[in-house]
Structures are given as C-alpha cells and as structure tokens.
Amino acid sequence: MTNPITNHFDYISNEFYKRMKNVNSINELAKEFEDIVLEESNLIRKESIVALKHIATGKYLSSISNLRYTTGSKSQLVFVGSSEPDPNSLWKISFGSELATYTDTFITLQHVKTNNMFLGINHGYINDYGYYGFCYSKSPSNNHTEVSCDNSNDYRNGYWLNNWKFNYSKVVDHQGYLKSNDIVNLSITKCNINDGRFQDNQVEFLRSHDIQFAIGNDTFQEVVCHDERLGGNDEWCIELIHEVKIF
C-alpha cells in the first residue's frame, strides 16, 4: 500500500513521475509539467479560504456576524445568500494534513468574517430551569436539523459538532485530493446519549432548498441537515478563493 501524499511538493513529484512514462518529446514533457502545475494550483490545502456554492440555486453558503435564529438554538444563522462570493460567504477549511483526501479526511469550516465561529450542529440547550439538556434544534421552516455557526470553545457548546466529511457527489468511492470546483456532498455524524454515554450514529447531509424563513423584515434561504435520499439540493461546489478581501 502506498503512503498518502501529504503536501503539494510530493503531489507534483508523484504526478510528474507517473506521466513521464508516456512522454516521447521535450514538448510533451513541458506540456505535462504545465498541466501538473495548473492542477496543483487548484488543490485545496489546509487553512485555504473557500466558498461553497449550492449547485441547485447558484447561491453561496453564508453567515452574518451576530445575526441569530429566533428559534431553535438561537445561534448565529446559516443560509444561502448571494449569487457571487462575498465576505459573508468565505470559510477557512482545516484538516489534519496539508492536502485532503477523499477517503478518510474530516474538515472544519470556520467563518472568516466572524473568525471563531464554525459551521456545525448543536445538540445541547439550556432549559427553563437553567440545566443543560440534549436535543438537536430544528430548522426554522421544517423538521430537519438546524445548521448554525458557533464557537466550539464556548463552555456552553460542549455538545457542538463541527467535523464534516466530504464525498464526491458523482462517483462512489472517488479517489484523489480535494480540488477547487469539485462538486461534493457534506455530511456530519450526530452524537446521541445512550445510558449516559455518547454514541455516534445518524449521518446527515448538508442541504439547501427554496424554502425561506424570516427574521424581522428580512428573508433567508434555509440550510439544514437531513437523513433523506440525496439529490440535487445536496450538491455543493467548493471554490478556492485566491484573493481574500474582508470589508
């Protein structure tokens, strides 16, 4: 079994070695090298800044600092908003190695503009008596799981889940590395309590749809997690942002 490639220098060396076998001229060699360098520039590295475009609606996964749900967890809301990337739709992606493989990588998505807020779900709440309880918040417009942004270091969020798994949406068991413009499904594993112990069980997928909800005079297109059959509403295009402007 070969060792996984963990950085972009190894990626270039490995790809160059494989493709040299079919090269018959200097021109072909130069062309192969140019192609490899272009592919490498699209690899998503640890702590890259990315945007996630919802394929079905063409809108970007977004959050707004201190704008909170009025129901459920009352955490910072998540929605799909602009049809172009803007400061509210930028996320810092992190994972264990420099490059992310499709086979075994979990990622976190940190909202850039609010810095310490991560995309996730929460299964803890403070009840009317001030005690912590366990229940996943429901989305504003239906019975799916609410998706929000929150600070995993906050003591109140000991039950905050923000480790996402990504799968290539078109090919089962896709091999390779996460790249800009890949179309993916994002999933998260719920953690429940059984006999006083935490257990991982239900896997749910990130989805948006045309359903909207209101906060004050503003309406937002909903983002949820669900355990239903996958479809077009569950596809996201991950885009590498090379130049970041926060204003």
pLDDT digits (tens, 9 = 90+) for 11-22: 556 655 565 667
Could you tell me the sign of the dihedral formed by the alpha carbons of 84, 86, 91, 97, in that order?
Answer: positive
Q: Give the pLDDT band (50/70/90) at residue 26.
A: confident
Nearest Cα residue to 30 out of 40, 16, 41:
16
**β pairing state of 148-150 and 160-161:** unpaired
Report whether pLDDT(9) > 80. no
Q: 19-28, 85-94, 185-194, 220-229 — which is least confidently predicted? A: 19-28
The pLDDT of 15-32, averaged and rounded, is 64
As a whole number, mean pLDDT of residues 41-70 equals 94
Tell me the pTM.
Answer: 0.81
Residue 204 and residue 225 in contact, taking contact as beta carbons nearer than 8 Å: yes
- Domains detected in the chain: 1-42 (no CATH), 46-240 (2.80.10.50)
Tens digit of each residue's pLDDT (9 = 90 or more) over 214-246:
999 999 999 999 999 999 999 999 999 987 665
Taking the CA of residue 223 as centre, how many other CA atoms within 13 Å lie in the half-sphere pointing to its CB?
Answer: 27
Exposure string over 172-204, b if 16+ CB within 10 A, otherwise e: eeeeebbbbebebbbbbebbeeeeeeeeeeeeb
pLDDT band at 2 (very low <50, low <70, confident <90, very high): very low
Are 93 and 109 in contact, with CB atoms under 8 Å apart?
A: yes
Average of per-residue pLDDT values in the chain: 81
Q: Contact 112/143 with Cβ under 8 angstroms?
A: no
- Of 51-55, 65-69, 156-160, the least confident: 156-160
Coil/strand/helix, residue 75: coil
How far apart CA 221 and CA 172 sit, in angstroms, is 29
